[in-house]
Chains A and B, each alone.
Chain A
């Protein structure tokens, strides 16, 4: 028999009371953990998005209040039925005085084309997003883009039953079937050597699997035949679902000559002030929207900071209420146990022994509350986090947060138990046993 046996047995006996104490701590800790988990995951996701974005300035047509999300960052709408950018806008960028601070200018035209028809038959036709780009510049602003390796291509070849729908190169006219695989291999090694003809396209990995096409295959887009030069490696980005082709080829295919949907810039702000560059761009392109992703990220960061403040305030408040619940419940339990404590004192327990029993009870419930609070908080963050944050986030399980949650719970539990413990220790044993 040790003091903790008494504490543990009492907890087990007073299940409902102890459940209240547990809930008081659990709700506080769970709130803190979930807020922290969501905010941390948001920060991580923001950092990832910003880091992944080779481009840091986006130029789009001035679209008023319409917005769209590009790579998880909200931008003015650029798609259809709004005033379009043109090649002249691209040329205007070349003439600004801080041009050397811009590492890459990647204009692009987005549109929909019908893939299939022709060889695939009308039944297999489907709308696909085609993006006309300047390939070299595009790969600079999107450093995660890679071509699929030869091994991946071979392993895929064995498991692509849809390929039977696609005409083999030997069944199509002679002039179209030649695929320069040596060129593809070179392009895999060095992306700067990647040059497409206007009849060649790059297909995103997911789309390639859906369409059942691979390197060297022919694909009809809105009635025009293209050769798949390469399939892009799976990157988890929007390009997995897109077809990339030369800007001029896309303009011809979509019947939108000279038009550009948006221009992405990779600017190096170490070579010139961000503010100056943005103002020069706005001056050179008066009727367009120039958005700095860094500023957008900062704006988001500010929002997250506000969220942290709010979340922390709410958590602290809930933890404080939890502490009061623990303190009041334990204090009530001490009053109920007056006689029992009197017996302890009479049979030789010191005041400190009695206080230890109450503190041990607080400690045991706190540890349990901290552990459960962590798991409940993480579950809330995991399931409700993406909804709260309004973005796709991954809440990581972190051992140090678990440790902190338990430590915080212990701290609160013990602080709340101090008053009841003192109250128990100070009980007059004679009074408690009502000898008089």
Chain B
């Protein structure tokens, strides 16, 4: 039996919006195996981004637990959770979220800032990761001097520079054209084949082709209706 990398048990999340209580998650339980790549789909407001933020140790659930590689994420203190994120998780955000005043190389070096390594070592590590994502010649460019696809590659390089076992991606191809989006998905696929566990929130059914599993969220719950799942995926393919 494959090793479980992420284990979510009975996750609920309620928050107040305009005075009303909104149930963003209603008892989500999900296991993701090591080396798996999972696409999370669903309509806006279905709770997929909330799931991702809880899994990323950024947003404590109202109830339930999350374990990553056997670590109960929310049993850790806030500062320890920061260390956990650095060691175990890589984030690829919507709209890349690169730091505009840092070069591509410096953006990739960011997660290494707080670890004890010489600047030279950090540069070497970040440089090799940028080569791996195909940006060898553009290390010293600022984000605004890069195309959307290139910025996405920098964001991916930043997510994997610390060699985390898990990468969480939120709509990574949302602002890219189809061709560039496919290239980025191919890159994710390659990283996954290298052993990385990937959990990706996406609206684009095409992206599910590159993932080993797709789950659908509806009204804060995992959708188990296979017909609906097939319908969603095929709708995307059309």
Q: Which residues from chain A sit less than 8 Å from chain B, CB to CB?
A: 1-3, 5-6, 9-10, 12-13, 339-340, 343-353, 429-430, 433, 435-436
Q: Is the CB of A348 within 8 A of B106?
A: no
CB closest residue in chain A, given B47: A436
A10: contacting residue among B101, B111, B114, B170, CB under 8 A: B101
Residue of A nearest to B159 (CB): A347
A352 lies within 8 A of B79 (CB): yes
What residue of chain B has the Cβ atom nearest to residue A10's Cβ?
Answer: B101
Across the interface, name the chain A residue whose C-beta is closest to B84: A348
A334 smallest CB distance to B (angstroms): 15
Chain A positions within 8 Å of B53 at CB level:
430, 433, 435-436
Of the 9-residue stretches B86-94, B181-189, B227-235, which lies at the interface with chain A? B86-94
Q: Is the CB of A429 within 8 A of B86?
A: no
20 examples of A-B residue contacts, CB within 8 angstroms: A1-B110, A1-B112, A1-B113, A1-B126, A6-B113, A12-B101, A13-B100, A13-B101, A339-B97, A340-B97, A340-B99, A343-B91, A347-B91, A348-B85, A348-B111, A348-B114, A351-B79, A433-B97, A435-B49, A435-B58
Taking a contact as CB atoms under 8 Å apart, the answer to whether B56 and A346 are in contact is yes
**A residues less than 8 Å from B158 (CB atoms):** 347
Chain B residues within 8 Å of A6, by CB: 99, 102, 110, 113
CA distance A12 to B142 in the complex (A): 14
Instruction: Verify B49–A436 contact, CB threshold 8 A.
Output: yes
Give the size of the chain B interface in residues (CB under 8 angstroms): 37
**Chain B interface mostly helix, strand, loop or mixed?**
helix
Interface status of B32 (Cβ within 8 A of chain A): no
**Most chain B beta carbons < 10 A, residue from A10, A430, A435:** A435
**Contact status of A436 and B50, CB under 8 A, knowing A5-B106, A343-B93, A430-B59:** yes
Check: B62 CB closer than 8 A to any chain A CB.
no
Cα-based distance from A13 to B99 in the complex (angstroms): 11
Against A, the Cβ 8 Å flags (1 = close, 0 = not) of B62-87 are: 00000000000000001100110111
Mask: chain B, 26-70; 1 = CB below 8 Å from A; 0 = not: 000000000000000000000001101100101100000000000
Q: Is B122 an interface residue (CB 8 A)?
A: yes
In the complex, residue of chain A having the shortest beta-carbon distance to the beta carbon of B110:
A347
Nearest B residue to A13, CB-CB? B101
Contacts of B24 in A (CB 8 A): 436
Contact B58 A430 (CB under 8 A): yes
Nearest-CB residue, chain B, relative to A12 = B101
Alpha-carbon separation in the docked complex, A429 to B54 (Å) = 11
* Shortest beta-carbon distance from A83 to chain B in Å: 79
Does B224 lie at the interface of the complex (its beta carbon under 8 Å from any beta carbon of A)? no
For B158, the closest partner residue in chain A by CB is A347
Determine the distance from Cα of A222 to Cα of B87 in the docked complex, in whole angstroms.
100
| CB-defined contacts of B85 to chain A, threshold 8 Å | 346-348
Which among B78, B83, B114, B126 has the highest number of chain A CB atoms within 10 Å?
B114
B101 pairs with A9, CB closer than 8 A: yes
Q: How far is the CA of A52 from the CA of B102 in the complex (A)?
A: 63
The answer to whether B101 and A348 touch across the interface, beta carbons within 8 angstroms, is no
A323 to B97, CA, bound (A): 32
- Minimum C-beta distance from B238 to chain A (A): 30
Q: Which residue of B lies closest to A352 (CB)?
A: B79
Q: Are A435 and B79 in contact (CB under 8 A)?
A: no
CB within 8 Å for A436 and B99 given contacts A347-B111, A349-B114 = no
B109 within 8 A of A: yes
A352 and B83 alpha carbons, distance in the complex (Å): 12
Least Cβ distance of B38 to chain A in Å? 17
**How far apart sit A2 and B116, CA to CA, in the bound complex (Å)?**
10
User: Given A9-B106, A347-B85, 4 more contacts at CB 8 Å?
Assistant: A3-B113, A6-B113, A343-B91, A346-B58
